[in-house]
Amino acid sequence: MRAAGLALLALLAGCGEEARETGPRVRDCRLHVRFAPAGQPGDIGISSDFNGFDASRGALRWDGEAFSGAFEVAPGRHLYRVEVDGRPFLDPDNPVSLWEAGAEWSVFDAPDCARPAFTLAGIEHADGAPSARLVLERADAQSGLATVQAFVDDAPVAAEVDGDEVRPELRAAPGKHHLRLEGTDAAGRPVETFTAPYWAEAERFRWEDAVIYQVVLDRFARTTPFTPADRLRPPGERQGGDLRGLLGVLESGYFETLGVDALWISPLNTNPEGLWTGVEGGPPRYSSYHGYWPIAPRAVDPRLGTDADVEALVQAAHARGIRVLLDLINNQVHEQHEYVGPHPDWFRTACVCGLDPGCGWSERPLDCLFAPYLPDINWRVAGAEQQFISDAVWWIETFGVDGFRVDAVKHVEEAATRNLAAAVREGFEPAGTRYFLMGETAMGWSDCPDPCNDENYGTISKYVGPLNLDGQFDFVLYHAVSYNTFAYGNKGMLHAAYWLEHGLEKWPDDAVMTPYIGSHDTPRFVSLADYRGQDGAHDPGVAHSQWDNVAEAPGDPEPYRRARIGMAWLLGLPGAPLLYYGDEYGQWGGADPNNRQMWRSEDALNPDESQTLDFVRQLGAARSNIPALRVGTYVALDATEDSIVFGRHLAGGESAVVAVTRADQAQQLSVNVSESLGLAPGTVLADALGGPDATVSVVGNLIVNIPPSGAVILAP
């Protein structure tokens, strides 16, 4: 990796290592390139501004494994490409690139090696806080570390110094903290200030462990209670939810009762006033309550709250060990945005997606407009690319949030997410604290065997990796299983098992995927289950209606039963599952904006909703309390048309068994758990959902008894 990614490479190489240096480190600010072309090239070199774009002056030499070179460059930004017999290639090890004069170039931001710098050499986590070892990278071989000052949350802390090595005291109260390290070398030169956030917590958080709760802020809770009149407002208009309302729910402990440890909050940017026409036409009836029409890049919408309200929310969440993700608008702004007038070249306005001829969503995904009043960000303009990434970084720097849900990934140039990831990794992960980048790349599913869905899997996967996003929403699983198996019931559990296992094979090994049964872009699960075509009054099309003939509250318990079964499946899956606000109790609603009705507190729920909430709380508690259920390897055990049994297994031996049935009669299945899960004969497993214990037989089998339309979660 190069440019912004240089710091990340050093971090990845150093984390967890405690090997001592054999001599002083001297800072290396050269551009290092390695390239392995297919076949034997005639000429291969680097074309860049520092050599007059003459690849013959930047020749790469064969080192036995690849062609490589190291080049002295002045501090600052440099564009370069590898040229192989005159053909240009990006540096495959460098995620950062820019468009210049219609061509894409790799980017190297060369630091100033006239100043020394600290780098992380190793980090360990024990007793609730990390222990970090930092090493000085000298400006020259003779000038070692002379003085050092360490600060945590701007308060001085002790630091153990051994030559060029520094071990700051990082113990602190549970929550998120910030380390700052300053110093001088023997020549009197100031060391570049080292800053890094870190967490002090009894059990180290991993995003692979997370349960993410999605909040559409305007539709969640507000400082003053909602009145019946408030709830009669048209669904496209603002309802008044705000940051203080969300803070009140957070401080009540509500999210912990669901096993939630991450919040995804809708965009906070200031949005325009008034009502606007949707792409379906008709009168203006959409307000900007959702936050996806920003008019200011670095301002909190006053209708949602203040900067102080954001800070209070983030601090309260962190005190509870809950991470906070902001929704990042990556594709468009509103025509009133403050950048549109001064920088018209930053935006594209040629055609509207799906409306103008030749401008289909798939025909022109990078430059079509989501609506006529939403200019499309042109990521091929260097000024736009740098500004929008700088704005994204500002939200992390200013409010201490823990990452982003990145909107509309496939509608921007691929370099956009790579460059964002590099900026976040370099700026905030030097002490090993992981910031989560979760992408939205909307794809579908086709009911046919491979290679039928290769495009769906491939499009989502290409944005995920160590140099890109951490994970994405699992759109394929949603369309294949979530509503087909659990809401409609037109596909069985064998189908669910196949597509889950198929996806686990298809996604990148390091991807943290997010399965879900509902989101702000889908009709509510309960309404899909209610309008499943069982009679003329329950036409499936109703659940997809926006303004007329819209979904209403279910008239019987069946949709809630299906929701509970779907939730039991969801919260047993690998990845970081999503709970869309209200789904925890079975909120109903059709297509946008009816799927974004106001969240309701416990005292406003009907008996079916209360039963669903209680059950989801049991599921969340089980996931929180059983590590294997969060991060264990998925192990397929058995499936029938009505039931599925699978295991989650940790390498250290801990295991759990999840069984779910949609049958209205109790089900009994026998599965072998000794070979697959390492559970010894005689092991007693308790049901986290309150059912009877189960014991592994002498031959390693487990009899799993599943209650009607229910689930069990068994663990020792």
Give the architecture-level CATH label for domain 30-110. Answer: Sandwich (2.60)
User: Looking at residue 115, what is its pLDDT?
Assistant: 97
DSSP codes, 88-130: EE--TT---EEEETTEEEEEEEE--TTS-EEEEEEEEEETTEE
Q: Which two tokens stand for residue 687?
A: 């049901």
DSSP state at residue 564: H
CATH topology of domain 117-200: Immunoglobulin-like (2.60.40)
The 10 Å Cβ neighbour count of residue 59 is 13
Domain range summary for the chain, segments of one domain joined by +: 30-110, 117-200, 627-715
User: Looking at residue 4, what is its pLDDT?
Assistant: 35
The 10 Å Cβ neighbour count of residue 62 is 12
CA angle 283, 284, 287 (to 5 degrees): 150
Exposed e or buried b for every residue in 476-509, given b needs 16+ CB within 10 A? Answer: bbbbbbbbbbbbbbebbbebbbbbbebbbebbbe
User: Looking at residue 678, what is its pLDDT?
Assistant: 95
User: Looking at residue 173, what is its pLDDT?
Assistant: 86
pLDDT digits (tens, 9 = 90+) for 254-285: 999 999 999 999 999 999 999 999 988 999 99
User: Looking at residue 10, what is its pLDDT?
Assistant: 32
User: Looking at residue 658, what is its pLDDT?
Assistant: 99
User: Looking at residue 11, what is its pLDDT?
Assistant: 33
| Fold: same for 30-110 and 627-715 | yes
User: Looking at residue 255, what is its pLDDT?
Assistant: 99
User: Looking at residue 21, what is its pLDDT?
Assistant: 53
User: Looking at residue 656, what is its pLDDT?
Assistant: 98
User: Looking at residue 124, what is its pLDDT?
Assistant: 85
* Token pair 């509608």 in the structure block, residue: 411
What does the CA dihedral 541, 546, 549, 554 come to, rounded to 10 degrees?
70
HSE-CB of 595 using CA atoms within 13 angstroms: 24
User: Looking at residue 433, what is its pLDDT?
Assistant: 93
User: Looking at residue 168, what is its pLDDT?
Assistant: 97
The sign of the dihedral angle between the CA atoms of 149, 155, 156, 159 is negative
CATH topology of domain 627-715: Immunoglobulin-like (2.60.40)
Q: Which two tokens stand for residue 166?
A: 């520094």
The answer for residues whose C-beta is within 8 angstroms of residue 83's C-beta and 6 or more apart is: 43, 44, 45, 46, 47, 55, 89
Provide block-wise average pLDDT over 10 residues at a time, the chain (716 residues).
Answer: 33 38 88 94 96 97 96 97 97 96 96 96 82 96 98 96 96 91 98 95 92 98 85 92 98 98 99 96 96 99 99 98 98 99 97 95 96 98 97 98 99 97 96 96 96 97 97 99 98 98 97 98 98 94 94 97 99 98 98 96 97 99 97 97 98 94 97 96 98 97 98 98
Strand 655-661 and strand 643-649: the pairing is antiparallel
Q: Are 130 and 168 in contact (CB under 8 A)?
A: no
